[in-house]
């Protein structure tokens, strides 16, 4: 059942990619707003302290590096971050990134990390930019602990950084199937400025989805389109610890399925671009000792529901603090 469900959603995302390359986006919305609709589910209850969560999340989604990746002879590299884990594909020949997509099941969180006296976070997302530059366009799910031993909260969100902060869309549930994509059409003009964006996310099990459309003209900046990412992340900026990092909420192993991107003229799994892009395996560590807290064992493999992508599936495992 899970494989069939993934295959169905992945097929629809392939169609989106084909349409973008063949015809471009048909229209542009000048205001970056959440065009949220329900696919039959009940109205979601928002987290109890939305302002606090959004403020904290704004500090989450930008990488803090322990060491940047060093490219090996095979064209791949390992980078170490204090708050990112997963994979990024960065164009190696000057090409642009036009699309990224990914699918995952919302992990189950336990709010019981040692030292987590107030808040703890973890998030999963797909996005363009962020690895090599300061802007990032992304959509994903998040898990939040308001305090040690608290009941975890789960929700979906989107962001255009630096245009706005995290925008919470709906609450979600553990093990809900999430499918998300970020698509950029640089050929579309709005008020004489090129570039139209679509951020889309489906929460299949809870019957919620959102589509956010914006133009470079509205955002006030032209993204660099320098890479595609499928990422699990922990936040930074916490005043409760001497390190300044929020505790990473403990969560069950999480697999990204069908993590694929359109870079230049290629549409492939994130691990299948060869010389067209440098693949970065991003390992997460704690601060300042940089002991491993999250890793992606086994590298990127083939997704049985989307073998046409090549290497597009990988697993992330929470390792705990030393």
Please give the chain's pLDDT, 322 residues, in tens: 555 555 455 544 443 443 343 333 333 333 333 334 332 333 334 444 555 556 555 555 577 788 877 665 555 688 888 888 999 999 987 778 999 999 999 999 988 766 556 678 889 999 998 888 778 899 999 998 888 888 999 999 998 877 777 788 899 999 999 999 999 988 887 777 778 889 999 999 999 999 998 887 788 777 777 899 999 987 665 545 555 566 778 899 999 999 999 998 889 999 999 888 989 999 988 777 788 888 887 889 999 999 999 999 999 998 875 4
DSSP three-state, residue 157: strand
Task: For residue 217, report the phi and psi dihedrals to the nearest 5 degrees.
Answer: -60, -45
CB atoms within 10 A of CB 134: 12
Q: Are 300 and 312 in contact (CB under 8 A)?
A: yes
Convert 277-295 to b/e letters by CB count within 10 Å (16 or more is b). bbbbbbbbbbbeebebbbb
DSSP three-state, residue 110: strand
Alpha-carbon distance values, 156 to 54, 99, 139, 141, 317 (Å): 11, 20, 8, 4, 21
Listed in sequence order, the residues at least 6 apart from 115 whose beta carbon sits closer than 8 Å to its beta carbon are 241, 247
Angle at the Cα of 148 from the Cα atoms of 143 and 149, rounded to 5 degrees = 85
CB atoms within 10 A of CB 109: 23
Tokens of 82: 């204090």
Cα distance between residue 180 and residue 139, in whole Å: 7
Q: Are 63 and 219 in contact (CB under 8 A)?
A: no
Tokens of 73: 């002879």
Cα distance between residue 285 and residue 279, in whole Å: 19
Residue ranges of alpha helices (H) inside the chain are 2-23, 50-58, 216-219
Query: What is the DSSP-derived secondary structure letter of residue 289?
Result: T
Could you tell me the maximum CA-CA distance found in the chain, to the nearest angstrom? 54
Q: Are 309 and 100 in contact (CB under 8 A)?
A: no
Cα distance between residue 52 and residue 50, in whole Å: 5
pTM: 0.84
Cα distance between residue 322 and residue 320, in whole Å: 7
> What CATH number belongs to 2-318?
2.60.120.700
């Amino acid at each position: 059942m899970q494989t069939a469900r993934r295959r169905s959603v992945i097929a629809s995302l392939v169609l989106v990619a084909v349409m973008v390359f063949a015809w471009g986006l048909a229209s542009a919305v000048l205001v970056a707003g959440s065009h949220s609709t329900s696919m039959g589910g009940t109205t979601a209850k928002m987290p109890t302290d939305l302002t606090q969560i959004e403020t904290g999340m704004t500090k989450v989604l930008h990488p803090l590096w322990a060491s940047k990746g060093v490219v090996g002879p095979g064209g791949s590299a390992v980078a170490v971050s204090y708050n990112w884990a997963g994979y990024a594909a960065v164009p190696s020949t000057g090409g642009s990134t036009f699309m990224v997509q990914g699918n995952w099941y919302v992990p189950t969180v336990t709010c019981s990390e040692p030292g987590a006296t107030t808040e703890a976070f973890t998030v999963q997302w797909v996005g363009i930019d962020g690895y090599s530059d300061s802007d990032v366009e992304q959509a994903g799910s998040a898990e939040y602990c308001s305090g040690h031993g608290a009941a975890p909260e789960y929700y979906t969100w989107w962001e255009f950084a630096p245009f706005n902060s995290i925008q919470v869309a709906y609450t979600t549930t553990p093990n809900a199937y999430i499918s998300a994509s970020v698509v950029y059409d640089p050929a579309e003009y709005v008020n004489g400025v090129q570039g139209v964006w679509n951020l889309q996310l489906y929460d299949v099990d809870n019957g919620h989805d959102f589509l956010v459309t914006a133009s470079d003209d509205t955002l006030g900046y032209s993204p660099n389109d320098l890479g595609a990412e499928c990422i699990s992340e922990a936040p930074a900026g916490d005043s409760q610890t001497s390190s300044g990092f929020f505790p990473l909420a403990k969560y069950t192993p999480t697999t990204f399925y069908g993590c694929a991107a359109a870079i230049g003229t290629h549409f492939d799994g994130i691990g299948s671009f060869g010389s067209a892009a440098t693949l970065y395996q991003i390992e997460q560590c704690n601060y300042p000792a940089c002991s491993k807290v999250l890793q992606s064992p086994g590298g990127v493999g083939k997704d049985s529901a989307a073998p046409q992508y090549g290497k597009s599936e990988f697993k992330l495992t929470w390792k705990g603090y030393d």
